[in-house]
Every structure is written in structure tokens, then in C-alpha cells.
Amino acid sequence: MNKKLIKVISEMVLAAVLMVSIVACSKTTGPTKENTKTPDSSGKSASGKEEKDPAAPKDETYTISWIGAQNNPLSEDPVMLEKWEKEFNVVIDFWNIDSNEWNEVLSTKFAGDEIPDLLYCNSPANFANYVDQQLLAEIPPEMLEKYMPKTIAALKADNEKVLLQGQVDGKQYGIPIGTYFHNQFHEPIVYRGDWMKKAGVSSAPATLDEFQDLMYKFANEDPDGNGKRDTYGFSTSGLNMVYGAFGYERKQWVEEDGKLVYSSIQPEMKEALAVLAKWYKDGIIDPEFITGENKGGYWAITHAFDEGRIGYSGHGCYYHWNPDLGPLNESTGKSSVIAATNYQELEKKFPGIGSELVHGTPVTGPDGKCGSRGDPLQHPHQVGFGIQLEDELDKMAKIMTMYEYWTSDTDHYFESRSGIKDEMWHFNEDGVPVSDFDAWKEKNKKPDETLSGVGAATVLEPFLLSSYDKLQNKYLYDWAVENKYDKDLIRSELFVALPSAGTYQTELDKMEDEAYIAIITGDKPVDYFDTFVEEYKKSGYEKLEKEANEWWKTMK
């Protein structure tokens, strides 16, 4: 064999060996320090290169099926919906659902495997059912922090444990919508100021004894000047003032020693009932308290007070008693906040008396306790994503970015709620958003249009953030704080329906109402309270107490 041929063969063998070596290296299995690149929390690999976020919204037009919180159906021309579709490059398939037929309609759709991408959960019971039926997607916590950081921060600023409400077995299935603005204030404490003057009392009572003295004067000293004994101190809502002076309000779950207990069966309530029984016997309490202060029509009206039968009331909410507040609205020529229902009703019957109303504070009882009834701050509703979005995290992220856009900017938030800025609303000289919607309807010849109809209100944006609510309700907020409605609240810690409530609650409520009325009216002695409590505990309460405390543990 000649040298030239040997050289060629040698080079061919060497090349083959090198090729085998390269292939073998390329087929190495199993992780090694050299071939494994683990992304860090920043989204970068160990080499420093950016890793693509699989949940990042894509540059495409998304079609999103959506069930929101609506008071009225969308109109044929939902201008706000169309605005957001264009702005976010989405098509919103909004499901118009009558709130009275909510469960029936959705049950039919769910049975046919129709699940919206965005599902508003309008009750704790429905949320629990949707999770049990595997209708809701699990929400990765890191996505909330990445795509809704300001929204989540604002929600946590109002309630640091807010996200726990949307969790089941430690997994996030819902985003709670926030807190009730109005629930930071307790129920009304209102006196007939003109009656107080006639009784020689210059300021609202501060103690239970002072309250008692004033109520006896209202009942016995003819404050209306008609020469008849036809007035009383108070009716149904006034009972709460007395309960609060003993540290509780009825039908609440409150925390004591780390666990929830039911207020209406506490020993202090027996003391409160003893006081009320004596006052009823003495003719201080309106005998019609059993049927209530409202005789029909709008629920918040207290006819007993507005028609001059009683001199004290806590009926309705604090915002049912305010006078005109704030500067004139340029578009309506009326005050920014118009005088509330009971103020107006009282003025109709007794002109000029509304301005003499006296707003008081909870009175202090014999043991130094005081408080007035308040409702839970946390709103029980939340939003969730259809189960199919577990495989479409980019669409979930897209919806989150829409929420973040609306909630992280003042203009955007009020546009989502009140419509087109400077057409449907504007900021006044105090920076308060003022509605021009009625003028817009007239200008556009749409007398029956609603904010929900155009796609505003809470149709798309449901979150309740105190910073925006405080701004929107500035004049009412300032008035409430001035009258100390934000002080000494007694509120229930429980804001969900207990699993066994449907089985026991109706009968337990009936048992409680009958016992309390019987003791106050003298049909039963005060000591009957002990018998009532014993029977109450045997009639399903122990089951409810167990469930309440199991839930309470999840909130810590």
C-alpha cells in the first residue's frame, strides 16, 4: 500500500472517531452542572439570559367570556364596553344575567360545559360551590404579584388577610373584591333636638343613666306639645343602644379568648333585657316595636320617628340621615350630596326640624362598656377565572392587566365606574368625582339608559378600594367622622354563611326572637333567659359554633 493511500485512510478513521465522540457527547442524558440552566426568580437563566414568561399576555386579540356584577342589563350601545375592547385589544363576550335568575341560568350553562373566562362570585356559598364543582381555576400567587401588584397592595392595605377569603385548602381560587366603605361606620344615633330642648337637655346622653332619663322625658313630658301622652322614647332600633351598653349587639359572632362566640346568648344580654323589660313596663318603649319602625315603602324610613311617635332612632344606615352636603353640582344645581331619606321625610312632616337633629355617640353602661352595631368590613364577593384558564395562563394574565389598569389610576378607576370623563362625570373644585350622567342621557336622548347599561358601574371593574371610595364619598365621609360614626363599633367577625346554617339558622332565629320579645314585654321573667340559652345550644348552635371556629382558623 503506498504512503499516499495510507495517509488518506488514516485521516478518514480519525474523522470517524471524532464524529462518534461528538455524537456521544450530544446524547449525554441526565442533568449536569454544565448543561442545566435553572431560571432564577427574576426570570433570567443561570447564564443571565431572559426566560420567556409562559403566562405573559400575547400580542393578539383575546376573546374573553365575562360574567360581572351588574344591576341592569347591557344596552344595545354599551359605549364603555366598546371603549375597553378597543383600548385593550380584546373582544368581551359579556353574559347578561338577571340577578333573580342567576343560579338557575348558570346551573344550566355549567351543565352544558359553558364556563366563562371571568366569573363573578356573588356569594360565599356560590364561590364554595364553584370550587367544589371544579369550575374555577387555581390562581398562581406569583401572577397576582406580577400582573396586579398595585391592586393587591391596595386590597391588603384595607385588610392584610384579604386573600385568605379566596383560598380553599391553601390554594387561591378567588380574588376578594375588598371592603364595604360604609361599614366603617356604625348604625345611626339620632335624637329629636327640638324635643331635647323642651326637656331641658342640651347635649346627647353619654351614659345609660342619662339615656334613660331622656327617654323617660320623651315619654312623659309631652315633647310634641299636643296635651296627650302619645309619645315614646324609642322603638325597635333603640334596643341596640341598650345592648351595646352591655358590650354586645344581637346576632353577631364575636371573638373572645381567640374563638368566636354568639353574642345573643352571653350573660351580659340578660342584664340588658332586665333594663328593657322595666322600661317597657314603664311605657318608655313603643309597644309597636315588635312590628318595627317602618310601615312600608323604602325599608330605611322610620315612620315612627319621622311622624313624631318616638324621639330617638337608630333605624337604617348613617347615610339615611345626613343633610345637604358639599358644594352645588354645576350640572344639576343641587348639593353634591342631597339630604337623605329620613331627613327629607321629617322635613315634610315638621318643616325646619331636620336641621335640629342631634347625632349622638354610644352610651356607656354600668361596667364601662359601650358600642353601636356595625357590619363586617369585608365584602363577601370575589372574582374567579374559569377552570379552562389553567391551560391559558396568558389569558388569565391579560384579564389581570385590565384590572390593574382600572384600579391603579384615579382617572381610570372612575372611568370604569362612572363612564367617559368630562362627559358622564367630572372632578369638581375639591377633586371629587361628580356625576353628569343625567345630563349626558338628556343630551344623547337616552332617558332610560343606566351606568350598567353602558358598561360602567361594576359591570367590569368590581374592586372596592377605600382610597377611591373615600374620595368619591368625601362629603359624606367628613360628615360621618365629624359626628363620630367611626367610633365604638361592635361588629360581627363572621361574614360567610356557615355550612349548616340552612339546616338550623331559621329555627334558631325564631327561638331567639321569641325569647327576647317575651322577656321585654313581660310575658316571660328575665330568668327565662337561662332556659332559652340552654335550649338554644341544644338546637343546632353547637354545630354552628364548631363550623364558625373552623372557618375562623382559616382567617388567621
* Same domain assignment for residues 318 and 397: no
Q: Specify the DSSP class assigned to residue 539.
A: I
- 528 is a domain residue: yes
C-alpha 457/C-alpha 399 separation (Å) is 18
- 485 is a domain residue: no
- 423 is a domain residue: yes
Q: Give the domain extent around 527.
A: 186-373+490-555
C-alpha 143/C-alpha 464 separation (Å) is 20
**What is the full per-residue pLDDT of the chain (556 aa) written as tens digits?**
443 333 333 443 333 333 333 333 333 333 332 333 333 333 444 444 556 788 999 999 999 999 999 888 999 999 999 999 999 999 999 999 988 899 999 999 999 999 999 999 999 989 999 999 999 999 999 999 999 999 999 999 999 999 999 999 999 999 999 999 999 999 999 999 999 999 999 999 999 999 999 999 999 999 999 999 999 999 999 999 999 999 999 999 999 999 999 999 999 999 999 999 999 999 999 999 999 999 999 999 999 999 999 999 999 999 999 999 999 988 788 999 999 999 999 999 999 999 999 999 999 999 999 999 999 999 999 999 999 999 999 999 999 999 999 999 999 999 999 999 999 999 999 999 999 999 999 999 999 999 999 999 999 999 999 999 999 999 999 999 999 999 999 999 998 889 899 999 999 999 999 999 999 999 999 999 999 999 999 999 999 999 999 999 988 8
- 40 is a domain residue: no
Decide: 545 and 262 in contact? Cβ < 8 Å. Answer: yes
* Same domain assignment for residues 435 and 515: no
CA atoms within 13 A on the CB side of 220: 10
* Same domain assignment for residues 121 and 160: yes
In Å, the largest CA–CA distance within the chain is: 144
The identity of residue 192, as a single letter, is R
- 205 is a domain residue: yes
3-state secondary structure 171-211: EECCEECEECCHHHCCCCCEECHHHHHHCCCCCCCCEHHHH
Count of domains in the chain? 2
What is the Cα 211 distance to its own chain's centre? 33
Sign of CA pseudo-dihedral 302, 308, 312, 318: positive
C-alpha cell of 407?
A: 384600579
* Same domain assignment for residues 264 and 327: yes
C-alpha 393/C-alpha 400 separation (Å) is 10
Nearest alpha-carbon partner for 398 in 149, 7, 56, 2: 56
- 12 is a domain residue: no
How many CB atoms neighbour CB 189 within 10 A? 27
C-alpha 372/C-alpha 361 separation (Å) is 8
- 137 is a domain residue: yes
CA distances from 74 to 71, 88, 184, 455 (A): 9, 19, 32, 6
> Over the stretch 33-73, which tens digit does the pLDDT of each residue have?
233 333 333 344 444 455 678 899 999 999 999 999 988 89
Tell me, what CATH number does 499's domain have? 3.40.190.10
What is the Cα 73 distance to its own chain's centre? 22
* Same domain assignment for residues 203 and 338: yes
- 140 is a domain residue: yes
* Same domain assignment for residues 309 and 203: yes
Of how many residues is the chain composed? 556
SS3 117: coil
* Same domain assignment for residues 66 and 166: yes
* Same domain assignment for residues 314 and 426: no
